[in-house]
């Protein structure tokens, strides 16, 4: 899908990006001036994106992608490319976490992990396909960790948005969400929240998660391998796909797999 549009914003997947929807309502793909204007307006609205950061259209970096960003503040951004457009919006929605992910890559490279190893692989997977799952209920957290999908999505359906919620981080998910398909999964990272969390305005929820995730990513002993992120079948989330209104939708074990592997990472 190469045609520029902004009709995707109403889907819950894009909730973290909606604050920037008015800045994306042009008639064609953003150019360099549009990206500069996007950053200027986001900063004026209080976005915590680093002051040094700039999206640079069609830049071909000499160094590794992550290292170039860390050293120059320039984010290579291809014109007419959904993946890079959503990466820019993810920087605005998750400014602290994106900066922390970039810093994690830079630290690993400085230690000699030029070719990606487990730590950088985990950071890349979170950056591309990550969904932050905030949960105020340990039983729901355990249901997700144990892949008990019927309990999570059917029996506890009315707790979504009240006791548990999903906040998309991965920009590759924003891209694939333009054409969702059966089998579509994110990689879940669990963050425990208190009972008052879901009573806050959405923007405050997102900012709180961004701050906590960035702090956690500063510790390279945490989320040290990709297996600590859990597969989450996104079409099963209540409100994300019309077919999941029927409980029979969850009987598809090719999609809603019961297999356990390793425990996920989480922050209490």
Could you give the angle at the alpha carbon of 223 between the alpha carbons of 219 and 224, nearest 5°? 90
Mean pLDDT, the chain, as a whole number?
A: 93
Digit-coded pLDDT (tens) for 176-221: 999 999 999 999 999 999 999 999 999 999 999 999 999 999 999 9
* Strand segments (E) across 51-113: 54-57, 74-77
The DSSP call for residue 164 is: E
How would residue 115 be classed by pLDDT, with cut points 50, 70 and 90?
confident
Per DSSP, the residues of 33-58 read HHHHHHHHHHHHTT----TT-EEEET
Q: Specify the 3-state DSSP secondary structure of 188.
A: strand
Task: Return the closest-CA partner of residue 124 out of 108, 103, 101.
Answer: 101
Spell out the domain ranges in the chain: 12-116, 122-251
Quick one: how far is CA 52 from the chain centroid?
Answer: 22
CB-based contacts of 126, cutoff 8 Å, min separation 6? 101, 169, 170, 187, 189, 223, 229
How would residue 27 be classed by pLDDT, with cut points 50, 70 and 90?
confident
Give yes or no for a contact between 132 and 191, defined as CB atoms under 8 angstroms apart: yes
Task: Return the closest-CA partner of residue 90 out of 137, 64, 129.
Answer: 129
User: What pLDDT score was predicted for residue 21?
Assistant: 86
């Amino acid at each position: 899908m190469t045609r520029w549009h902004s009709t995707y914003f109403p889907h819950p997947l894009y909730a973290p990006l909606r604050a920037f929807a008015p800045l994306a309502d042009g008639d064609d793909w953003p150019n360099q001036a549009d990206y500069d204007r996007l950053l200027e307006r986001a900063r004026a609205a209080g976005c915590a994106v680093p002051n040094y950061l700039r999206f640079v259209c069609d830049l071909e970096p000499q160094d590794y992608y992550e290292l170039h960003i860390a050293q120059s503040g320039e984010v290579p951004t291809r014109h007419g490319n959904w993946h890079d457009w959503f990466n820019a919006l993810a920087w605005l929605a998750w400014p602290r976490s994106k900066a922390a992910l970039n810093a994690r890559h830079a630290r690993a490279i400085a230690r000699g992990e030029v070719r990606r190893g487990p730590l950088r692989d985990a950071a890349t997977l979170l950056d591309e396909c990550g969904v932050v799952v905030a949960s105020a209920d340990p039983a729901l957290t355990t249901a997700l960790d144990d892949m008990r999908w019927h309990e999570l999505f059917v029996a506890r359906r009315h707790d979504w948005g009240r006791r548990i919620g999903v906040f998309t981080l991965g920009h590759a998910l924003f891209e694939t969400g333009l054409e969702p398909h059966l089998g579509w999964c994110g990689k879940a990272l669990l963050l425990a929240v208190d009972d008052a969390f879901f009573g806050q305005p959405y923007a405050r929820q997102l900012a709180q998660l961004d701050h906590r995730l960035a702090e956690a990513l500063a510790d390279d002993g945490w989320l040290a391998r990709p297996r600590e992120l859990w597969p989450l079948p996104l079409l099963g989330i209540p409100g994300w796909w019309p077919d999941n209104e029927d409980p029979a939708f969850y009987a598809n074990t090719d999609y809603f797999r019961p297999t356990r592997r390793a425990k996920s990472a989480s922050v209490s």
